[in-house]
């Protein structure tokens, strides 16, 4: 079986504060193109598909009607991330066992963080947001908030923000019971091979599809052969024009 794993789209209402920055049709065409070329049997969305911390699901639906229709018309798997824990249609993880008995474990990966991984951390985060919403009528409070967010972005910029060793350590723990572990969450597309418990093990991260990027993983679950996909808006536009020219 060929799988395509995508994560961290953070689909928003396409206002100025979001990071999705995709045109619905462009994204659909990109996914469909890959499904076609690589004969993908299953598309798995590995968490943080929706930005439900900043926006309501209803507003996101209204802003992206074609994409929502596309999701509901297809037999896709949705895994829960820390930004879309409220997604009712999502599962906490997805596991595949191939004909050789090898196992692939896919989860978003936020359980490696203290703040995201426990209920207290999540409710603290929610409390902050509720307060912010209450204060959002005040322009100067919002101005200060955006300054803090910008500053924090500068200081804790990805990948510095995510100490990726932490996720590697978390993946190694999961690799005791699995042959392949695929996480998302760090927005850093990567792959590591190691021999562990006398077996070849692989940790992959599906990266992100925010800010016009398109990153993900294609894997043949029988041979465990995989490919990392990394495209920018520009390269995608070029490949569209090539496709159209033909
Ligand atoms: Mn996340």
Q: What's the pLDDT score for residue 104?
A: 98
Which tens digits make up the pLDDT trace of 114-137?
Answer: 655 556 655 666 666 666 666 665
The pair of three-digit structure tokens given for residue 229, joined into one six-digit string: 């996909």
| Distance between CA atoms of residues 7 and 55, nearest Å | 18
| Distance between CA atoms of residues 76 and 79, nearest Å | 10
Q: What percent of the chain has pLDDT over 90?
A: 60
Number of domains in the chain: 1
Q: Tell me how far the alpha carbon of residue 185 lies from the centroid of ligand 1, in angstroms.
A: 4
Nearest to 213 by CA among 197, 229, 202: 229
Q: What's the pLDDT score for residue 50?
A: 94
Higher-pLDDT residue of 53, 72: 72
| Distance between CA atoms of residues 185 and 6, nearest Å | 11
Backbone φ and ψ for 212, nearest 5 degrees, come out as 75, 5
Domain carrying residue 110: 2-245
Read off the pLDDT of each residue in 60-64 and give the average, rounded to a whole number.
95
Alpha-helix residue ranges (DSSP H) falling in the chain = 24-37, 57-63, 65-73, 114-117, 119-135, 139-155, 164-174, 233-245
Q: Tell me how far the alpha carbon of residue 65 lies from the centroid of ligand 1, in angstroms.
A: 23
pLDDT score of 1 more than 60: yes
Q: What's the pLDDT score for residue 131?
A: 64
pLDDT score of 150 more than 90: no
Q: Tell me how far the alpha carbon of residue 39 lies from the centroid of ligand 1, in angstroms.
A: 28
Q: Tell me how far the alpha carbon of residue 208 lies from the centroid of ligand 1, in angstroms.
A: 10
pLDDT score of 43 more than 60: yes
Q: Tell me how far the alpha carbon of residue 46 lies from the centroid of ligand 1, in angstroms.
A: 9
Q: What's the pLDDT score for residue 179?
A: 97
Q: Tell me how far the alpha carbon of residue 80 lies from the centroid of ligand 1, in angstroms.
A: 9
Q: Report the CATH number at residue 170.
A: 3.60.21.10
Q: What's the pLDDT score for residue 132?
A: 62
Note the pTM of the prediction, 2 decimals: 0.80
Read off the pLDDT of each residue in 70-96 and give the average, rounded to a whole number.
92
Which tens digits make up the pLDDT trace of 181-193?
Answer: 999 999 999 999 9
Q: Tell me how far the alpha carbon of residue 5 lies from the centroid of ligand 1, in angstroms.
A: 15
pLDDT score of 34 more than 60: yes
Q: Tell me how far the alpha carbon of residue 242 lies from the centroid of ligand 1, in angstroms.
A: 34
Read off the pLDDT of each residue in 32-40 and give the average, rounded to a whole number.
97
Q: Tell me how far the alpha carbon of residue 125 lies from the centroid of ligand 1, in angstroms.
A: 13
């Amino acid at each position: 079986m060929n799988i395509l794993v995508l994560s961290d789209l953070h689909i928003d209402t396409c206002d100025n504060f979001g990071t999705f920055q995709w045109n619905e049709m462009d994204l659909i065409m990109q996914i469909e193109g890959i499904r076609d070329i690589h004969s993908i049997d299953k598309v798995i969305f590995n968490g943080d598909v929706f930005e439900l911390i900043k926006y309501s699901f209803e507003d996101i639906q209204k802003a992206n009607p074609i994409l929502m229709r596309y999701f509901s018309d297809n037999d896709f798997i949705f895994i829960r991330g820390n930004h879309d824990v409220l997604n009712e249609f999502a599962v906490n993880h997805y596991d595949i066992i191939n004909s050789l008995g090898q196992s692939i474990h896919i989860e978003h990966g936020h359980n490696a963080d203290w703040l995201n991984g426990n209920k207290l951390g999540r409710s603290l985060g929610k409390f902050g947001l509720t307060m912010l919403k209450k204060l959002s009528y005040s322009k100067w409070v919002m101005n200060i908030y955006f300054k803090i967010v910008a500053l924090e972005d500068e200081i804790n910029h990805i990948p510095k923000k995510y100490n990726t060793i932490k996720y590697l350590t978390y993946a190694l723990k999961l690799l005791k019971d699995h042959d392949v572990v695929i996480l998302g969450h760090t927005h850093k597309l990567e792959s590591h091979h190691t021999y562990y418990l006398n077996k070849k093990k692989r940790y992959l991260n599906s990266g992100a599809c925010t800010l016009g990027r398109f990153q993900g993983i294609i894997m043949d679950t029988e041979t465990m052969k995989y490919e990392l996909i990394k495209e920018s808006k520009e390269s995608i536009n070029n490949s569209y024009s090539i496709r159209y020219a033909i």
